[in-house]
Copies of this chain bind each other. A is one copy, B any other.
Amino acid sequence: MQTAISRTPMILNWHLVPYHAPIVLGRALGLFAEESLQIAMLEPTDPSDVTELVGRGVADIGLKAMTHIYAARQRGYPVKSIGTLLHEPPTGLVFKKSSGIEKLEDIRGKRLGYVGELGKVIIDDLCRSAGIAEEEYECVRVGMNVVDAIIDGRVDTGVGIGCVQCVELEQLTGEPAGILRIDDMAGLGCCCFCSIFYIATETILEQQPEKVEGFMRAIQRASAWMLDHPEQAYDMMCQQVPKMRSKLNQKIFMHCLPFFSRTQENVERDWTKVGDYVSRLGLVEEPVNYEAHYTNEFLSKPPFAAPQVFMQTA
């Protein structure tokens, strides 16, 4: 009954969705085991819990978007990005076409759903820039339930990712969905602020560098295999986690494929751009120490050793 390997807790940024495939596949393909790692993947029920729990060392590894990593360090949690999962997924206010929303000005008199407090800061900033007063719209915190909140009428639109929430909204309503991209409205030029990163604290990076390197190597090998074999990868993920097997999740997986990082590298330009953005939002103090927020030193260089794949038959 002894456990040979001590489990490494990892908290996802969201309940399990198809873009978490590289982590599921790291396990399914035995790549974590090859690094003597057993990753205990935990799903949050509130995404706002993640940076604190990783920052306090409750979990060794986590996933989080760039803006939250900046905010976490500002709060004193010494977390860093150690690699990229998803880069620049189009993010913004998602809505049903029938909502009548076409441009930011159309949100006057509407209810806007946001995930956690950062989302509200972003919405308020966009509206202020567009000359829309706070009294002219209502913000509703909806956590992970933005699509449900739109469908059941609690909000008219809400912050989501195109390749996940827009696809969900269209599939579940049978109606076309639209998105007002935040990068367009905020003049960012790309949605790097919403890129999703593997994170760990400085303590872990200093005390257990081999573990972090092993974790990222397994992730890099799993990601490379997945991008070369997307259909097989989706099927393997579903064998591990049957609730992933649905037309909706398959469609979301396909839509996420263009946004998976192929190198897992942190890109300096993205970090400086978003550093300036969160500084403008008043979330971090100037001068912004961009480099403190990420490191590429735990990444392996391609090519990655291909995993041996023995597919179970369903």
> Using a CB-CB cutoff of 8 Å, which residues 292-314 of chain A contact chain B?
312, 314
Q: Report which of B43, B74, B312 forms a contact with A15, defined as CB distance below 8 A.
A: B43
Q: Report which of B7, B15, B53 forms a contact with A9, defined as CB distance below 8 A.
A: B53
Q: Contact check, B45 vs A241: say whether CB atoms are below 8 A apart.
A: yes
- Considering the complex, give the chain B residue whose CB is closest to the CB of A59: B58
| Copies of this polypeptide in the complex | 2
- Considering the complex, give the chain B residue whose CB is closest to the CB of A52: B7
- Considering the complex, give the chain B residue whose CB is closest to the CB of A242: B148
Is A257 part of the contact surface with B, judged by Cβ < 8 Å? no
> Using a CB-CB cutoff of 8 Å, which residues 81-123 of chain A contact chain B?
117
Q: Report which of B1, B75, B145 forms a contact with A2, defined as CB distance below 8 A.
A: B75
18 A-B residue pairings within 8 Å (CB atoms): A1-B283, A3-B52, A6-B56, A9-B58, A16-B45, A40-B44, A40-B45, A41-B45, A41-B46, A42-B42, A42-B43, A43-B44, A45-B241, A145-B241, A145-B242, A148-B242, A154-B312, A154-B314
Given contacts A42-B43, A42-B44, A43-B44, 16 further A-B contacts (CB under 8 A): A2-B75, A3-B52, A6-B52, A6-B56, A7-B53, A9-B49, A9-B53, A9-B58, A15-B243, A41-B44, A42-B45, A42-B49, A58-B58, A58-B59, A145-B241, A145-B242
Mark A residues whose CB is within 8 Å of B. Answer: 1-3, 6-7, 9, 11, 15-16, 40-46, 49, 52-53, 56, 58-59, 71, 74-75, 117, 145, 148, 152, 154, 241-243, 283, 312, 314
